[in-house]
Amino acid sequence: MTAMMTSSIFLGPLVNNFSPFPHRVLESPLPSSAPSFTRIRSPKATATPVVTHHPAPFATALPKKKVLVPVGLGTEEMEAVIVVDVLRRAGADVLLASVEKGLEIEGSSGIKLVADVFVTSCISEVFDLIALPGGMPGSARLRDSLVLKQITSRHANGKRLFGAICAAPAVVLEPWGLMKRKQMTCHPAFMHKLPSFRAVKSSIQVSGELTTSRGPGTACEFAMSLVQQLFGDLHAAEVKEKLTNTGLKNEEFGSIDWSMDHIPQVLVPVANGSEEMEVVTIVDILRRANVNVLVASIEKTTQITASQNTMIVADTLIDATLDSTFDMIILPGGLTGSTRLQKSKFLKKLLKEQKSGGRICGAIGSSTAILQKQGLLMNKTVVAHPSIIGTSKIKLSDEDIGVIIDGKVITSRGLGTAIDFSLAILYKLFGHARARSVAEALVYEYPRR
């Protein structure tokens, strides 16, 4: 199967002293600087982003690479979606394959994926790469698939690239005997299942054809390492640049308390063309902290087609939320998606009410322009995707800012800052302890105070 398949996802139902904020542990061949937050005060200016087109996807003569990403009940959806997203951006033909009796897969955070095909249909295929996402019981479900074991064993014995992240190295590859004479890493909770003399604690470990990694917080580095091995250093550097500069510092202007005496109610509107990596990262991380997140489609149906051809089924339609009050509305990016969100009369109504009620709003990437058009960025310092910063009226404290909090508005640059953006929200809602706890589960470094 050479055509890129389409997958589906169902998304079911901080404070004064802002200290340095989380950054990645990056041990891949493509290092970046560690982000940090610095609380500063500076004069304000009206933010006026202008939407322009993102650069087109890679038009390259590189040979098409075929990639298999198997999923099962309890697969870690951030890892699966990030790997698929990044590899598709690199030009790979990625196939999402179910090891279950049905194509619909419920992930470890309650997000439902609909695979492209059953893994049994892949038994005669030859892949350039097989990448196993982690999560539990997802990793155990992959391990118990005899067909997947046959495919992966034949693939590994053929000296072709394969990788695993999170629990998958220890739960899947080790019992299959595919890591002999290899150094490997995995999620800290499963390190005891690896041979101690070959286990390492690096975020990325490349040993011959095998690449292993630690968790959702290292999934982007894991995917970038796979891109580098498939396509080479130059192409990997180009892909990394498209992810909007990972490892940027973050800032807060002023200090307004976001803490609440109830479970925060958060709305995440989505549209055709929304960036799935941002949607899944935001929803996954907030739900880990027990935030009640509702995903609402602004399209005529709950199913939308995301920017990298992943299908997402929202919880509800946007018009069904009009009688509800949300503590926070968060807009994911994606150029096409943000353009469509901007045209939704229902979303405009909700944002107008959010403004009049003095409640929190957030946007990532190109969706910062939506907040500006609705008058939510007056006298605010913001950050946005470089493609929509079209005038000098944007107030940025530094060109290398990943996330900015200004009062009750939080904005972020794009894909590479989605985890920082989500953890910043948790910090403002619950404080450092909760945000740090979630970051540790993600295997994402949160600095000591």
Report long-range pairs for 60-65 (Cβ below 8 Å, ≥24 apart): 60/91, 60/235, 62/91, 62/231, 62/235, 64/2, 64/91, 64/92, 64/93, 65/91, 65/92, 65/93, 65/128, 65/129, 65/230, 65/231
Q: CA 271, CA 240: separation in Å to the nearest integer?
A: 25
Q: Which of 135, 141, 196 is nearest to 166 (CA)?
A: 135
Give the active site residue among 23, 54, 187, 385.
187
CA pair distance 91, 65, nearest whole angstrom: 8
Instruction: Tell me whether residue 186 is one of the annotated catalytic residues.
Output: no
Return the number of other C-beta atoms located less than 10 Å from residue 159's C-beta: 9
- Per the CB < 8 A criterion, the answer to whether 110 and 12 are in contact is yes
Point out the catalytic residue in the list 76, 77, 79, 106.
79
Q: Which of 23, 54, 106, 166 is catalytic?
A: 166
Q: In residues, how long is the chain?
A: 449
> Could you confirm whether 122 is annotated as catalytic?
no
**Residue 289 near residue 259, CB atoms below 8 Å:** no
- Residues contacting 3, CB < 8 A, separation 6+: 93
**Is 27 annotated in the active site?**
no
Give residue 10's identity as a one-letter amino acid code: F
Q: Compute the C-alpha angle 138/144/150, nearest 5°.
A: 115
Task: Indicate which residues carry an active-site annotation.
Answer: 79, 166, 187
